[in-house]
Chain A
Amino acid sequence: MERPIAYDKLAREDRWVRMRAREVAELKIAQGFPPFADLSSPDSIRERVHGILVGEIQAMEGAGRTVCDFPDAPWEFTMDMARQVWDESRHVEIYLRLLEHLGGYPGEFPETTILWRCACAEDAAARVAGVNRGLEGLACDVFNQLVHIARKIGDPILERAVEFVLADEITHVRMGSKWLTKLTEGDPDRRRKAIDFQENIDERFNLGGVRRDGDHEAVSISIATDVRRMAGFTEEEIERLVKTTQRSQVY
Chain B
Amino acid sequence: MAHPLAGHFSVDHSARLMRNYRYAVERTLRALGGWIALTPELSAKLLMGRHVWDLAQLADAFGARLPELRAHAQVSEPANERVVAFMDAVEEPEAPGQTVERLVGVYRVLKPHLLASYHDHLIRANPVYEPPTRRLLLRCLGDERRHIAAGTTILGHLCATPALAERALAWQRRLEGLFAAAGGVTGEGLPPAPVDTAQAPIETSDDAREFVRLEKPLASWPMPEDLRAALEAFGGSLAVPNVGALARWLAPGVSLDPAREVLTAAALTSHRLVAFARLGHQRLVKWRLAGPDAAVTVLARWAPGPDGWRVAMLDVGRIEALRPALPRR
Contact = CB atoms under 8 A, between A and B. Distances in A.
A97 interface: yes
A13 B41 contact: yes
A215 interface: no
A15 B275 contact: yes
Given A60-B45, A82-B33, A108 B38 contact: no
Contacts of B276: 107-108
A39 to B, nearest CB: 16
Nearest to B210: A93
Given A82-B52, A89-B46, A11 B74 contact: no
A14 B49 contact: no
B288 A86 contact: no
Given A31-B280, A86-B50, A64 B40 contact: no
B218 A64 contact: no
B156 interface: no
A19 B300 CA distance: 12
Nearest to B46: A89
Nearest to B217: A15
Interface in A48-87: 57, 60-69, 71, 75, 78-79, 81-83, 85-86
A67 B60 contact: no
Interface stretch (B10-18, B24-32, B197-205): B24-32
B30 A85 contact: no
Contacts of A107: 217, 275-277
Given A64-B35, A89-B46, A28 B279 contact: yes
A110 interface: yes
Q: Is the interface of B mostly helix, strand, loop or mixed?
A: helix
Contact of A31 (B50, B91, B281): B281
A27 interface: yes
Interface residues of A, number: 55
A2 B46 CA distance: 21
A6 to B, nearest CB: 11
B275 A85 contact: no
Contacts of B288: 14
A50 B282 CA distance: 17
Contacts of A93: 46, 210-211, 214
B297 A27 contact: no
Contacts of A57: 42, 45
Nearest to B51: A86
Contacts of A28: 279-280
Contacts of A96: 42, 214
Given A3-B34, A14-B297, A64 B48 contact: yes
B259 interface: no
Interface in A1-24: 1-3, 5, 9-17, 19, 24
A202 interface: no
Given A13-B40, A15-B275, A110-B279, A68 B96 contact: no
A164 interface: no
B74 A14 contact: no
B155 interface: no
**Which 4 A-B pairs rank lowest in CB-CB distance, beginning with the nearest?**
A89-B49, A68-B34, A86-B53, A67-B33
17 contacts: A1-B34, A5-B38, A11-B39, A11-B96, A16-B275, A17-B299, A57-B45, A68-B30, A85-B36, A85-B52, A85-B53, A86-B53, A86-B54, A92-B49, A93-B210, A97-B214, A110-B284
Interface of A: 1-3, 5, 9-17, 19, 24, 27-28, 31-33, 47, 57, 60-69, 71, 75, 78-79, 81-83, 85-86, 88-90, 92-93, 96-97, 105-110, 116
